[in-house]
Amino acid sequence: MRLLRLAASAVGALALGACSLDLQNPNSPTAEQVTTSPDGVIALATGLQGRFATSYGNFAYTAGLVTDEFASVSAALISISDAEQGAVPSGTGIADAVFNSLYRTVRSADDLLAGANALSGQFDAGTRSGLRALAFAMKAEAIGEALQSYQRVPIETFGITSPTYVGRSQALPFVRALLDSASATLAATAPSAFFNSSILTPGLNLPNFVNLLRARYARMANDNAGALAAANLVGRTGPTALSTFSFPVPTVNPFANVTGGANGIAPRRQFRLSMAPTDQRATYFVVASTATGRVGALLDTWARYANPQAPLPVYFPDEALLIKAEALANTGQLAAAQAAVDSVRTDCTGGRGVDDPKACLQPLQGTLTQAALLDEIYLQRRFELFGSGLRWEDARRRNAVRGPAAAPAVPSEGQRCWLPYAVGDRNANPNATFAALPDPAEPAAYPAGCSVN
Amino acid sequence: MSLDALRRGLARSTLLALLAPTLALAQPQTGSIRGRITDAASGRPLADVQLQVLGTRLGATSGADGGFVVGAVPVGERTVSVRRLGYSPLQRTVTVTAGGTATLDVAMNVGAVNLSEVVVTGTGAPTEKRKVGTSIASVDSTIVSRAQAVTIDQALQGKIAGAQISQNSGGPGGGGISVRLRGVNSFISGSDPLYIIDGVIIDNGSGQLTDLGGRSNPQNRLADLNPADIERVEIIRGAAAAALYGSRANNGIVQIFTKKGSIGKPRFTLNSRIGSNELREQQPFNLYPFDINGQPIARFNYQDDIFQRSMTSEHNLSVEGGNDQTRYFASVNVLDDEGILRSTSSNRQGVRLNLQQQLASKLIANVTGNYVTTRNQFQAFGEQNDYGIMGSLFFAPSSVDFRPVNGVYPLPPALGTNPLLAIDRIRNPQTINRFIGSAKFTWTPLANVVVDYTAGIDNSNFEQRQFIPRAAVLGTAPLSTGRAQSVFSDTRVINQDGFASVTFNPSSSLELRSTGGFNYTSQRVATTNAVANGLAPVGELVGAGSVFAAGQTDVELRTLGFYGQQEVNLWDKLFLTGAVRWDASSTFAPSERWQLFPKFSASYVALENRGGLLNSLRFRGALGWAGSQPSIINAYSQYIAYAQLPFAGRPGFVNDVTFGNPTLRNERARETEVGTELGLLNGKVSVDATYYDRTVSDLLFFRPLATSTGFSRQFAPIGTMSNKGIELLLRTTNVDTKNLKWESTITYTRNRNLVESLNIPDFQSAGGYPNRIRTGEPAGVFYGSYAARDCRTGALLVDSLGRYRRSNQNVDMGADLAARRRISNGECNDSLNAVIGDPNPDWMGSWLNEFTLFGKLRVRALLDGVFGNDVMNLSTRAQNAGIASNSREFERELLPYGNPNKLPPGFNARTQGIFEYWVEDGSFVKLRELSLGYTLDMAPVRRWFKDGVDLTLSGRNLWVWTKYSGYDPEINLFGTNGGGLGSGQTTAADRGFDFGGYPIPRVWSLSARITY
């Protein structure tokens, strides 16, 4: 019986001691662990910047395919070579990838905002200001990129299971308001040194980034005064003039990710061939090649992103000059506008001291009319802002959507207005079913602009 | 060597050191048992009755006058089991005194249905079958050993009604086997039943730690178990029977009992088997000596180089014995199994010690320990097309000479690797060191009270490596720079199980039994992974690399359950049982965690032990609930998790796109089952028939989330599925004479699966393959493109070149509905995709015939068939692809114009996109087992071996009758539960894909068994 008592107590101890059913997951932290500690919130800020780089890459990649910038390499999937000919059927991976990754960035920004607000007492004012401004700015740009890819987009998505889609008339002010919040936050309290050195990705200048975006979306809203004012605030010389993301091993630049294999793309040769032969921007972006793509597109290879660890410019600083020139030209200040364009044309080695595209061209000859000046601005935007995704919106706003260009035809400017809505959202969002949100009709005749309602 | 010398030798070995004290014990005093057996109805004496003194090896067979004598029986109360074909087995207890003779006269009743067999699975405490309201299949050691199979699950193929036991791959070490009881009952929780060995829940995972072909299934961990150690297997198939196992019982339970040893002097048994494995049949390849331009070209049949005739050897040595206090069984097992695919092999070495000890007069301990080392050398197959041998075979044009030139193996032009290089240089070794042990204490403080406690552990250390040399695969870095990988995984399952049972007899016609128990299981898997690319020219370990990556995961899942059961036994004819299990798993949200699983069952024995036409008749019925949990990969799905996203060299977090489900709960099955057992024709025929109807609700899968929220999916209940079916077991004794016995066993299984409802859109269940979960269809139907038909004639539509038109292609069928209708002359091809096949069989059946001639020669043949299932032949599709062009059908495209067999150019390119084209009838009948056994018992042999020498010549999977054109319709791309890497999008419903599978070999073997 002594044996039995011993056994019984051993059984009892084993059975009761070992069987807590509330197990923590040691493999990944929970929402509570991340959002309630300063370290966790700081890591969210890093995660946000990582997602922003990815979604920006997806946006620029797809925009380049459906305009005239990129084409598929020989090993690419059919859906990529279809897209380079202007065909993006509903449900295609690339149509969904742009949307899904942009809204993951939005979610990360919202997470960061919520965390920074909830833990406001645990961050000093400057750090909190930096966290909030970063979240506002990246959320704004992510929704802004969605606006440049889809006719209607959701804007309120945090804590909601079925977000509502709105047109540009509502979404664009929303984006600009976010950027104004970012700007106001930075103005009220400058980011702390800790934020700038340990949270913000090295190479990113937050005030310049916010002002550039304010100029970009003011221009999109045809707010010439706002665009001019913001563009003037963007630093254009010195090391902070170029903001970049860096990709230490084992991470790679988003373009390096899509230059080989099944998603493979390369710059179309026509980018280089369309330039003045002396334009140095060709060598900044590409290396001449004789390669042909999956459906016969003539290709060059990347120079800028050939190294998988090459830094990715968050924006090209001369975009500010070109926005400024456009605002000036639109408001009749033609001489000042022409000077701004010339500043871009004559940017040459040494230039403004940053590694940005440099045309090294002669200044414009004579005095250009407003129309000629605007044409020149569009042309410079094409070469200066290559691969940034902005060309698609340029094609839209100047009524230069020219329809699908089936290979071997070489496309020019934009090939379609919009991407079909993401099936990933359609599958679960009652506001995004095919009935509630039909895919927008592409124009019936080309060239065309796009309805932005 | 004398017996004493042998004993001394063995006693020195560590394995048997523990037994030495028992061997040295003096023999107890003995007496004998004598008696006569008669037929209860006629009073005639019965010959050939088998008598055995339970717990010993002592026994006898009755003579023509029904008389028998058993000598040297240890004194005390002894139970004797009495068995004869066609009669109900029974047990009698006699008291043996020292030097005395106990008398045992028995009258036996006719009956082929054994209702007195004691089962323990799903019943709380050990219970006679007659009292159980559900069907329980049991298989004993002779059936397992006669199958001459490498693993226990192979041995069960074709033996159990209601079970679909499929060998998914034919590799060494058993291949990957899946067992599906009563259809597929879950998407995410696997289809395999819960396996229990001697009361210990064990791991039967089939996951591979490195990429050996995505979801392919080279081996499941039941392969670590030595089939020769098995005494008995009990199988319960449904929720009603398994309710006491709560949230893990939905897929049924397989409980395995290992041998216990028996009282007597040590008895040694040596069983050796030598086998030869071969590819049953080569596939036809394109050997046309001209290329597409009509130019002469050399072609090669690589199958000659890839496959080989391989050898298997297996040796089992066991010893058993004991006395009244102690019984032991110990065994050593060595298996060397070479694969028919060159460079693949499996090797298993195991030892087992089972010990039963009487600790006190009312307390018995049973301790088991099994240590096994399994070493495998595998090659990738299935959907691994970078370095998988089968993929490379199917995708390489037959015009490449793969033989090395100056020591360098040429690579194929488009896809895969050189299979000869893979055989020669790519290495995938793995080592599994595993211990399964249990300790069980049974206490019977009073005659009517049993208390039982079992603790057990299953701990396996699994190391898997992979070495792919530089420049061994096509394509770009990192794989082309070589890969060395080492993954360690430690899996341990800890069990505690206890119950107490009390029996009351308020009156002679009423018996009540109350049982209560608990069960606790903790399953933990910890994995560490190191991988290097950019290998140095020499060196196969991770250290040889220049670019490194590492990973670590640690997952635990705990289950705790309590149960209570009340049984009512009226007049020993009507048995009613009510039970409830209260169960919780750590996987589920605390608010949903504790679930009740009730069951009710009834059994009515209408007739028993009658002579004549109808000998026995029992009816049974049950209603029960059971659950299932997601596999351990999804153990933490209730938590909203964040994922690491380092950026610019700093650690970062982002929300996991799979949103946690804070109200996650288990899948729940409700099953009703009714059945009957009949004994007919003086015990010559027995029938066991069951009908079941099971509905599983709250099926778990990934529910899509609106991606605008930043999430993409959530693990959640998505629908309801049902399985209804019939199981039939028919045993007949066709001839029963002195010199010839002929017995047959027939099983018939019919299951109808239906996805009843889904609250999400229908979805492709296996990423990249056309299996689909669709409301109103069986789970896993093939859904995809088809060849469009003319609506009026039903004839296949062809284009101007004579090629089929793909239903889902604008170029073939027009861009809109109007064009489709115009092309097809009507309204019949309106959908782009359709259900084009169903991998679920209509029915399955087996037919076993056993002949015994002159008591010495045994002939046995098992036919096993699956009918009405579709298989998608993606292997031949790969051969037909332009980059491969190595099929016989592609050969027809190369023929000169004018040849009647000529296929139009582009015909095969077109069929690539028509998935219907690759669906074939996968029905088959296999000669699963054929064996010829003979006992050599001439005097010279018996001088050395008292029981003679058993020789068996046997074969497995010898012939297959099928219309299927690939290697084997049984092999399946997907494993048991999704298995290895990249398996996130595979469900238990995904079956019926032949894509680069490892063919199942034909095996001939010769074995000899001696007992000393």
Strands B194-197 and B253-258: parallel
Q: With beta carbons under 8 A apart, name residues in chain A contacting B640.
A: 30-31
Given pLDDT bands bounded at 50, 70 and 90, which one contains residue B3?
A: very low
pLDDT tens-digit profile of B831-859? 888 999 999 999 999 999 999 888 788 99
- Give dist(CA A403, CA A119) in Å, integer: 50
Residue A409 lies in a domain: no
Given pLDDT bands bounded at 50, 70 and 90, which one contains residue B978?
A: very low
Structure token pair of residue B539: 């060196």
Nearest partner of A245 among A254, A256, A233, judged by Cα: A254
Q: Summarize the confidence of residues B872-898 as an average pLDDT.
A: 89
Task: Give pLDDT, residue B23.
Answer: 41
The count of structural domains within chain A is 1
Residue A444 has pLDDT above 50, yes or no: yes
C-alpha angle A431-A432-A434 in degrees, rounded to nearest 5:
120
Task: Give pLDDT, residue B630.
Answer: 82
- Which element (helix H / strand E) includes A126? helix A125-147
Q: Summarize the confidence of residues B556-575 as an average pLDDT.
A: 91
Which one has a higher pLDDT value, A382 or B147? A382
- Give dist(CA B43, CA B109) in Å, integer: 10
- When mean pLDDT is compared across A266-270, B7-11, B784-788, the lowest value belongs to B7-11
Strands B101-103 and B30-39: parallel
Contact flag A15-B496 (C-beta cutoff 8 Å): yes
Which residues have a Cβ under 8 Å from the Cβ of B1012 and sit 6 or more positions away?
Answer: B3, B6, B267, B268, B269, B270, B945, B946
Q: Which of A4, A27, A96 sits opposite B443 (nearest CB)?
A: A4
Residue A19 lies in a domain: no
**Closest CA in chain A for residue B636:** A25
Q: Summarize the confidence of residues B761-780 as an average pLDDT.
A: 86
Residue A61 lies in a domain: yes
Segment 865-884 of chain B within 8 Å of chain A by CB: none
Of A430-439, B70-79, B411-420, the range with the highest mean pLDDT is A430-439
Q: Within 13 Å and on the Cβ side, how many CA atoms surround B56?
A: 23
Q: Summarize the confidence of residues A242-250 as an average pLDDT.
A: 87
Taking the Cβ of residue B548 and every Cβ of chain A, the question of whether any pair is shorter than 8 Å is answered with no
CB A134 within 8 A of CB A200: yes
- Give dist(CA B559, CA B552) in Å, integer: 24
Residue B313 has pLDDT above 90, yes or no: yes
Bridge partners, B994 (sequence order) = B873
| Dihedral (CA of B658, B663, B666, B671) sign | negative
- Give dist(CA A36, CA B731) in Å, integer: 67
Residue A417 lies in a domain: no
Which residues have a Cβ under 8 Å from the Cβ of B471 and sit 6 or more positions away?
Answer: B411, B480, B482
Task: Give pLDDT, residue A361.
Answer: 93
Task: Give pLDDT, residue B548.
Answer: 87
Given pLDDT bands bounded at 50, 70 and 90, which one contains residue B45?
A: confident
Q: With beta carbons under 8 A apart, name residues in chain B contacting A25.
A: 635-636, 639, 641
- Give dist(CA B497, CA B454) in Å, integer: 5
CATH superfamily of B3-109: Carboxypeptidase-like, regulatory domain (2.60.40.1120)
Segment 648-667 of chain B within 8 Å of chain A by CB: 648-657, 660
Q: How far is B947 from chain A (nearest CA, A)?
A: 42
**Closest CA in chain A for residue B634:** A25
User: Can you give the CATH number for the domain in which A160 is found?
Assistant: 1.25.40.390
Task: Output DSSP code: residue A442.
Answer: P
CATH architecture entry for B131-475+489-513+525-643+652-760+841-871+963-976: Beta Barrel (2.40)
How high is the mean pLDDT of chain A? 90
- Give dist(CA B699, CA B585) in Å, integer: 16
Residue B20 has pLDDT above 50, yes or no: no
Structure token pair of residue B106: 């028995």
Given pLDDT bands bounded at 50, 70 and 90, which one contains residue B17?
A: very low
Given pLDDT bands bounded at 50, 70 and 90, which one contains residue B49?
A: confident
Task: Give pLDDT, residue B209.
Answer: 86
3-state secondary structure of A37: coil
Q: With beta carbons under 8 A apart, name residues in chain A contacting B652.
A: 43-50
Q: Summarize the confidence of residues B694-705 as an average pLDDT.
A: 91
Q: Which of A28, A162, A427 sits opposite B656 (nearest CB)?
A: A28
Task: Give pLDDT, residue B18.
Answer: 40
| Dihedral (CA of B40, B41, B47, B52) sign | negative
Task: Give pLDDT, residue B960.
Answer: 95
> DSSP letter string over B937-957?
--HHHHHH-TT-EEEEEEEES
**Closest CA in chain A for residue B707:** A425
Residue B391 has pLDDT above 50, yes or no: yes
pLDDT tens-digit profile of A69-91? 999 987 778 888 889 999 898 88
Given pLDDT bands bounded at 50, 70 and 90, which one contains residue B982?
A: very low
Residue A72 lies in a domain: yes
**Closest CA in chain A for residue B658:** A104
Residue A108 lies in a domain: yes
Can you tell me the ipTM of this complex?
0.91
Cis peptide, bond prior to residue A408, ω within 30 of zero: yes
Q: How far is A160 from chain B (nearest CA, A)?
A: 7
Domain interval for residue A333: 35-401
**Closest CA in chain A for residue B635:** A25
3-state secondary structure of B653: strand
Task: Give pLDDT, residue B111.
Answer: 64
Segment 759-788 of chain B within 8 Å of chain A by CB: 760-761
Task: Give pLDDT, residue B41.
Answer: 67
Contact flag B652-A20 (C-beta cutoff 8 Å): no
Q: How far is B557 from chain A (nearest CA, A)?
A: 8
Task: Give pLDDT, residue A2.
Answer: 57
Given pLDDT bands bounded at 50, 70 and 90, which one contains residue A6?
A: low
How high is the mean pLDDT of chain B? 87
Q: Does this chain's domain B3-109 share its CATH topology with B131-475+489-513+525-643+652-760+841-871+963-976?
A: no
3-state percent helix, strand, coil for chain B, nearest multiple of 5 = 10, 50, 40
pLDDT tens-digit profile of B90-107? 888 888 888 888 888 888
Task: Give pLDDT, residue B264.
Answer: 77
Nearest partner of B683 among B572, B608, B574, judged by Cα: B608
Nearest partner of B491 among B414, B556, B426, B398, judged by Cα: B556
Q: Summarize the confidence of residues A186-193 as an average pLDDT.
A: 95
pLDDT tens-digit profile of B639-682? 899 998 999 889 999 999 889 999 998 899 999 999 998 988 87
Q: Which of B520, B556, B647 sits opposite A23 (nearest CB)?
A: B556
pLDDT tens-digit profile of B934-973? 988 888 877 887 778 889 999 999 999 999 999 999 988 8
Q: Which of A3, A31, A53 sits opposite B360 (nearest CB)?
A: A3
pLDDT tens-digit profile of A303-355? 988 888 889 999 999 999 999 999 999 999 999 999 999 999 999 877 777 88
pLDDT tens-digit profile of B816-828? 888 888 888 888 8
**Residue spans per domain, chain B:** 3-109, 131-475+489-513+525-643+652-760+841-871+963-976
Residue B414 has pLDDT above 90, yes or no: no
- pTM here is 0.86
Q: pLDDT over 70 for what percent of chain B?
A: 95
Q: With beta carbons under 8 A apart, name residues in chain A contacting B586.
A: 21-23
Given pLDDT bands bounded at 50, 70 and 90, which one contains residue A68?
A: very high
Nearest partner of A46 among A102, A111, A101, A99, judged by Cα: A111
Residue A146 lies in a domain: yes
Given pLDDT bands bounded at 50, 70 and 90, which one contains residue A408?
A: confident
Task: Give pLDDT, residue B948.
Answer: 81
Contact flag B709-A108 (C-beta cutoff 8 Å): no
Given pLDDT bands bounded at 50, 70 and 90, which one contains residue B987?
A: confident
Residue A252 lies in a domain: yes
Of B329-343, B727-741, B851-865, the range with the highest mean pLDDT is B329-343
- When mean pLDDT is compared across A380-389, B103-112, B273-282, the lowest value belongs to B103-112
Q: How far is A162 from chain B (nearest CA, A)?
A: 7
Q: Summarize the confidence of residues B262-266 as an average pLDDT.
A: 81
Residue B983 has pLDDT above 50, yes or no: no
Segment 439-458 of chain B within 8 Å of chain A by CB: 441, 443, 453, 455
Task: Give pLDDT, residue B525.
Answer: 92
The 10 Å Cβ neighbour count of residue B573 is 15
Burial of B997 (0-12, 13-18, 19+ CB in 10 A): buried
Q: How far is A257 from chain B (nearest CA, A)?
A: 13
Q: Summarize the confidence of residues B233-248 as an average pLDDT.
A: 83
Taking the Cβ of residue B644 and every Cβ of chain A, the question of whether any pair is shorter than 8 Å is answered with yes
What are residue B911's phi and psi, to 5 degrees? -70, -20
